Chains A and B, each alone.
Chain A
Amino acid sequence: MRIVLDESKCSSLGMCESVAPDFFEVRDDGALELLNPTPPGDQRALMEEAVAACPTSALSIEE
Chain B
Amino acid sequence: MPEAPFVVVGASLAGLRAVESARKAGYSGRLLLVGAEEHLPYDRPPLSKAFLDPGDDPAMPHHRTDDELRALDVELRLGVPATALDTDAREIVLGGEEQLRYERLVIATGARARQLPGEQLDGVHTLRTVEDARSIRGALDAGRRMVVVGGGFIGSEVASAARKRNVDVTILEAAPLPLVRAVGEQMAAACADLHARNGTELRCGVSVTGLEGEGRVEGVALSDGSVLPADLVVVGIGADPVTDWLIASGLHVEDGVVCDETLRAGPEVYAAGDVARWHNALFGRTMRLEHWTSAAEQGAAAARNALAPARATPYSAVPYFWSDWYRDKLQMVGITAADEVTVIGDLDDARWLALYRQDDLLVGTLGLNMPGKIMKYRAMIGWRTAWQDALAFAGR
Binding site for B on A (CB under 8 A): 11-15, 17-18, 21, 25-30, 52-53, 55, 57
Pull 8 A–B residue pairs with CB atoms less than 8 Å apart, ordered by A.
Answer: A12-B329, A14-B371, A14-B375, A17-B375, A26-B372, A26-B374, A52-B300, A53-B297
Interface residue ranges of B330-388 to A (CB < 8 Å): 331, 370-376, 378-379
Please report the C-alpha to C-alpha distance between residue A11 and residue B63 in the assembled complex, in whole angstroms. 16
Extra 10 A-B pairs, beta carbons < 8 Å, given A18-B378, A21-B375:
A14-B374, A15-B293, A17-B375, A18-B375, A25-B372, A26-B371, A28-B371, A28-B373, A52-B17, A53-B293
Q: Which of A12, A21, A53 contacts B371 (CB 8 A)?
A: A12
| Cβ distance B84 to chain A, nearest Cβ, rounded Å | 32
- Which residues of A sit under 8 angstroms from B378, Cβ to Cβ? 14, 18
Interface presence of B45 (CB below 8 A): yes
Chain A residue at minimal CB-CB distance from B13: A55
The number of chain B residues with a CB under 8 A from chain A is 23
Interface residue ranges of B306-350 to A (CB < 8 Å): 320, 322, 324, 329, 331
Given A21-B379, A55-B293, decide whether A15 and B320 contact each other with a Cβ distance below 8 A. Answer: yes
Interface presence of B296 (CB below 8 A): yes
Chain A residue at minimal CB-CB distance from B369: A30
Q: Report yes or no: A53 in contact with B296, Cβ–Cβ below 8 A.
A: yes
Chain B residue at minimal CB-CB distance from A30: B371
Please report the C-alpha to C-alpha distance between residue A30 and residue B324 in the assembled complex, in whole angstroms. 13
Chain A residue at minimal CB-CB distance from B317: A18
**Max chain B C-beta neighbours (<10 A), residue from A18, A30, A53:** A18
Interface residue ranges of B284-300 to A (CB < 8 Å): 292-293, 296-297, 300
- Which residues of B sit under 8 angstroms from A25, Cβ to Cβ? 372
Please report the C-alpha to C-alpha distance between residue A20 and residue B381 in the assembled complex, in whole angstroms. 16
Q: Report yes or no: A26 in contact with B375, Cβ–Cβ below 8 A.
A: yes
